[in-house]
Each structure stands twice: as structure tokens, then as C-alpha cells.
Amino acid sequence: MKTKDKFLVRGAALASIVSAFAIIASVLILMGDIVAGGAGHVTWEFLTGEPTQGMTAGGVFPAIFGTFMLVLIMSIGGIPVGTITAVYLAEYASQGSRLARLIRFAVTSLAGVPAIVFGLFGLGFFVQFVGSGMDGVFSGGGKLVWGQPNILWASLTMALLTLPVVIVSVEEAIKAVPRELREASLALGATKWQTIRKVVLPNAVTGIMTGGILAVSRGAGEVAPILFTGAAYFLPRLPMSLSDQFMELGYHVYIMSTQSPDVEATMGIQYATTLVLLMLTFSLNFTAIFLRYRIRKRTLS
Amino acid sequence: MKLTPIRKRAHIADALARKVITVVAAGSFAVIILVFAFVFREALPFFFPADPAPAAGIAADGAQESYGEVQESYGSDPSVAPGASETGLEMSIAGEDVGVTDLMRTRWEPVSQEPKFGLLPLIIGSFKVSLIAVLLAAPLAIFAALYTSIIAPRWAKEIMKPTIEILAGFPSVVIGFFALITLATFFQDLFGFEYRLNAFIGGAALALAVLPIIYTLTEDALSTVPKSFTEASLALGASRWQTALFVVLPAATPGVYASVLLGIGRAFGETMIVLMATGNAALLSPDLFVPVRTMSATIGAEMAEVVFGDTHYNILFLIGAILFLFTFSLNAFAEFVVRKQLMKKFGGGQ
């Protein structure tokens, strides 16, 4: 073996091991920093109180509530459509169907679109186009109700962003249902729709849940799409109507750390808010990973 | 064939379900196309300022920071538009002067007395931060993937996989927060940067977001290399490291390239991290340690304050369209050209 190659191999070996450890170390540092900075400040009062003294004290309940409402409306808007599209792709689309090819292409493209571009779309389409249009129809353009950022437009924007996540994981779940089950059902004289409703979907329900959870986790963690489609700095009351603005955890972290009058004084609150957001997305992700692991195990056996 | 009423109903339901599902699927395709079309539509008025009068109203009113009432005059009779006075028209002419050549200028000052919409500092800024991110993340991710997929003992794989999944699950605003508070101070203390927040800090933080993508896709690419390659190499007496470096990695090269390209695409579009960690000053400088403003951060920071239908509004949409086109073509290139090459290489040989 040439000496040059020997050095190359040794160098690469060293670099590989160092890289792997560097990645693990940076994740530990990242996580440790947030946990160490926030753990002492996450109290019951913090989780259930609202911001006081110009957001320099108090809790984050409105932001938690807003995040919850955001992902709830997002799920209602996005998950059924994503699931039905996945059913079409997995069950109805014939081999080489043009519509299926177009949908797949659109879904892959959509998944690569930067989140901020969704925000632009939400503002231009939902707020300015649909919202202002609705105001024109309902009140003759006199009152500004829907033609401004609100929780409905933010949620629908987020639903679009998470559509690829839902479609891809639900399709995977449906395809994991053994073919024999379908064939048995069809052989017994059930129609295709009966088979899907009574055999395929019940067997794919864990996978559909996984897709939904992943979408919710993504939606709870993204901030860029809601920057100008509905999130608010500070609101004294919770969003009670679809046309209300709302506070959101990720947006709250961004505002507190960049626009706060006294960043140093609110450091504990900032870390605690970040930690709450992190715990929320992590628990969702872990549930999804666990469910997916169970599906894979069943498919293999 | 005669059908009982129950069977008949089932068949009607079946036909109905097929129709509804197909329509919904087609609908979701239509919505996706709508997203693409709309972003471009909102950017277009910049190139074709067909209706100067409403712009006049907006330009005049925009100076007084009013918002909302302006919208009613949009598209209505220009003579009754609130700002169609002499001054309004003059301002609109100043506004109309922003043409394609003005976008090539070096200064981005959208809200000054004489707005300047030079996109160069933003485009350079985006490239600067993305390249720093990928240069930091790609070697780490590729070497780590090489290690875990070929050489590492089982336990190391079992630590690495969840670690990467955890990193991928970090909300970008959390990474941005970490960079803004901890990383920036740490690096400033270490190297004595003049500016606490700068392109390098943004790039380093962005590297954390890009790492999981490059790692996962590289590992995928490495795993598509047929086992027979590895076995043949080992049988000829090569060590595992030699096999990894001289057999498996070269065979998977197109996939590794694709992973890096997709990483660049992700870095280019990421907003919250750069918005929080780069300092956001639109400076045109080759220095990596001064603040930068990227295209995505510009949209994120300015869109909320802009007047609907304004030149500034349209230009922000134009930036969005450029971002979209760039990431889209990068993804398409990575997906269809590079991956296909990999498929062709191994697809038939199996």
C-alpha cells in the first residue's frame, strides 16, 4: 500500500470518528444549554400565567394556548385533505396515472419550498385576496374583519406547509397494509370503497396518526409562516374567534429575544419559553417515532 | 347480473367515493399550484406597472404610515384616489423609476427618503451564510455518515441515529435562540469579533439545521451501494476503512453531491435562524465576520410593516419568488439529475 494512501486512510478514519463525536457533542451542548437555562424557571405559575409588566415577567399561557389552537385548526384543515390525497395515491391512482404523477411532483416540490414563502402566500392569498374579498361580500368593504392577519389564515398557511408531511407518511402507512387483507376483502365481494373503509384504513390508523403528529410537531415549531399571517406580540385576551390574532410559543421566543426592551432581565423567561417549546415538539416527535417503529416491526413480521 | 338493494347501495357508494377522493386529490394538487402561481403573481406588478394611479395613492399615503384605507382606492378610479394630487403623482414617478437595473445596485434601503432596492447585498448575504453553513456541516455530516454506515460498531449507530433525529426535530427558532444568546457570546469571547452577530455566527447556527439533512441523505446514498462491492473489496484484503474510502464513497458520490445541494437549498430558505443570528445589516462586504442580511430574513423582518400593493411589497414578493425558484431548481436538479445517475449506476446491476 502506498504511503500517501495510508495517510489518507488514517486521516479519514480520524476525521470520521471526530465528526461523529462532534455532532453528538453539539446536540448535547444545544440541548444542555436550553435545559440548564430554562429548567429552573418552568413553574406552574409560568405555564398558567400570562405575561405581565410589558412581557418582562409572568407566564406564557396565552402563547401555549395560541400554539394549541393553531395546530388544532391546522389539523382540521390539513389532515383530512392530506389523508384523502394519500388514499388516492395509494389505492385509486392507476400505474402511471398522470394525475398521480402530477400530485407526487407537486408534493415533492412543495416540501422543498422555504417556510417564509408560505408566509408570503398566506399574506397575499388568504389575507389580502380571500380575506378582503370576504369583507367585501359581508360588509361591503366597510369593516376590516377577515382582511387582516388572524388565526384562521395562519392555521391554513401552516396546513399547506405540513400537507407533504401528512401525504407522504399516510401513503407509507397505507402501503404497509398487507395486500392479502385487501384481496380477501375483495374476494368476499366487498367493493373497493368498503375494503378501504373497513379493512385498509383501520389497519393504517397508527400510520395516519403518525403523519398527523409529525405535521403537528412541524407546525408547532415553525415560525416563519405566521410572522405576518396572524401571530401577535402581545394580546391581553385569548383568541376566541377565527378572526382574532394570537400569541404563539415560537414567535414569543423570537420577539422576547430580539425585541425585548431588556434582554438580560428576561433571560430566564426566554430560556423557559424555549424549553417549553422544545419539550412540546420533542414529546410529539417521540410519540411519532415510537408509533412508526411499531408499524415497521409489524410490517416486517 | 342482478344486484340486491344493499349491493346496489354499496356500488353507488363505491362510485361516489372514487369520485370524491379523486376530486379532493386533484384539489390538493390545484392548491399547491395556486401557491406557486400566487407568489409569482404578487411579484409581477413590479415588472409591469400597468396601473400607476393606485401606486400614486399608496405612495402618498404610505408616507403618512396609513394602512387599510389605502386598499379601497386600489384599482378604483384614479381621479378619486386620495393621493392623486400633484405631489402624489411626483412621488409615484419616483417610485416607478425602480426598474430591473435598480435591483442590481448595491444598497438596500427600502424605507429611506429615497428608497433603494438593490438586491445585491441580500443575494450575496444569502450565499455567504448558506456557504458557511454547508462548508461547516457537509464534512462533519459526510464523515459521520461514512463512519456510522460502514465502520462503526452497532452501539455507535444506535447512539447516532436518534441524535440526528433529535437534531432534525429542533424547531429552527430554538437553534436561532441558542445562536443569538449563547453561541454568539461564546465566539466573541473566543475570537474577539467586532460584531457579536455576524455572517459566521448565522452560518454556524444554520449548520446545525443543515447537518441532519446532509447526514441522512448521505447515509441513504451509501446504503444504495450494493453489498457485493463491499464484500469484493474486503475479500481482496482491503481493510474496512480502505473499503469505505476507496470503494463505497466513490460509488455513492452522486448521492453525496445531491445531499449537499439539498443542504444548500435548505440553508438558503431558512429564515428564523438567520433573522436572529446574523445581525441583519445589509452590508456588501467580503468579510465573513460582519453582519449580513439574507433574502429570507429581509422578507421576515419587513413584510409585516409594508403597505399592501406598494413597490416595496412587490419587491419582497419578488425576493420570495427568487428564493422559491432557486430552492426549487436546486431540489429538482438534485432529485432528478443526480439521483437518476445513481439509479442508473446500480439499478440494473442488482
Distance separating alpha carbons of residues B188 and B197, to the nearest angstrom: 9
Give every CB contact of residue B227 below 8 A, 6+ residues apart in sequence.
none
Distance separating alpha carbons of residues A135 and A146, to the nearest angstrom: 6
- Res. A173: pLDDT tops 70: yes
Distance separating alpha carbons of residues A204 and A227, to the nearest angstrom: 35
Q: How far is CA B251 from CA A271, B100, B224, in A?
A: 45, 45, 9
CA A275 from centre of chain = 17
Cβ of B141 within 8 Å of Cβ of A106? The answer is no
- What 3-state DSSP class applies to A167? helix
Q: What mean pLDDT, rounded, does chain A reach?
A: 88
Q: How many CB atoms lie within 10 A of CB A244?
A: 17
pLDDT tens, residue by residue, A207-253 = 888 889 989 999 999 999 999 898 888 887 788 888 888 999 999 99
Please tell me the pTM assigned to this model.
0.85
Provide the H-helix boundaries in chain B.
5-43, 52-63, 69-73, 86-96, 100-103, 120-146, 154-169, 172-178, 184-191, 199-224, 227-235, 240-243, 249-251, 253-269, 272-277, 295-302, 311-332, 339-347
Q: Which of A116, A197, A213 to mutate to test the interface with B (most CBs of B within 10 A)?
A: A116
**Contact (Cβ atoms closer than 8 angstroms) between residue A91 and residue A200:** yes
Report the residue from B170, B181, B317 with minimal CB separation from A120. Answer: B317
User: In the numeric block, which cell numbers belong to residue B323?
Assistant: 428564493
Cβ of B170 within 8 Å of Cβ of A82? The answer is no
Cβ of A113 within 8 Å of Cβ of B324? The answer is yes
> Is B237 an interface residue toward A (CB < 8 Å)?
no
Cβ of A116 within 8 Å of Cβ of B296? The answer is yes
Chain A partners within 8 Å of B163 (Cβ): 23-24, 27
Cβ of A117 within 8 Å of Cβ of B324? The answer is yes
pLDDT tens, residue by residue, A20-34 = 999 999 999 999 999
Mean pLDDT throughout A55-84? 90
* ipTM at complex level: 0.90
Q: Average pLDDT for consecutive 10-residue bins of chain B (350 residues)?
A: 78 90 89 84 74 42 37 35 36 51 76 80 92 95 91 87 90 95 90 86 94 93 89 91 89 90 92 91 82 92 84 89 90 78 61
Minimum CA–CA partner of A233 in chain B: B304
pLDDT tens, residue by residue, A259-301 = 877 777 888 889 999 999 999 999 988 888 888 778 777 766 6
Distance separating alpha carbons of residues B290 and B150, to the nearest angstrom: 40
Q: How far is CA A121 from CA A105, A162, A201, B156, in A?
A: 19, 14, 33, 43
Distance separating alpha carbons of residues A12 and A20, to the nearest angstrom: 12
Mean pLDDT throughout A110-114? 87
Report the residue from A34, A112, A144 with minimal CB separation from B328. Answer: A112
User: In the numeric block, which cell numbers belong to residue A111?
Assistant: 416540501
Cβ of A250 within 8 Å of Cβ of B171? The answer is yes
Q: Which of A221, A220, A222, A215 is nearest to A118 (CA)?
A: A222
Chain B residues 149-188 within an 8 A CB cutoff of chain A? 151-152, 156, 159-160, 163-167, 169-178, 180-182
**Cα B124–B125–B128 angle (5° rounding)?**
85
pLDDT band of A2, cuts 50, 70, 90: low
Mean pLDDT throughout A142-146? 78
Question: Which residues, listed in sequence order, are joined to residue B279 by a DSSP beta bridge?
Answer: B292
Report the residue from A107, A113, A190 with minimal CB separation from B327. Answer: A113
- Res. A84: pLDDT tops 70: yes
Chain A partners within 8 Å of B300 (Cβ): 116, 119, 224, 227
pLDDT at position B82 is 38
pLDDT at position B305 is 83
DSSP state string for A29-50: HHHHHHHHHHGGG--HHHHHS-
pLDDT at position A129 is 87
pLDDT at position B349 is 42
Q: Which of A11-15, A106-110, B105-109, B204-208 has the highest mean pLDDT?
A: B204-208
pLDDT at position A42 is 87
Minimum CA–CA partner of B179 in chain A: A30
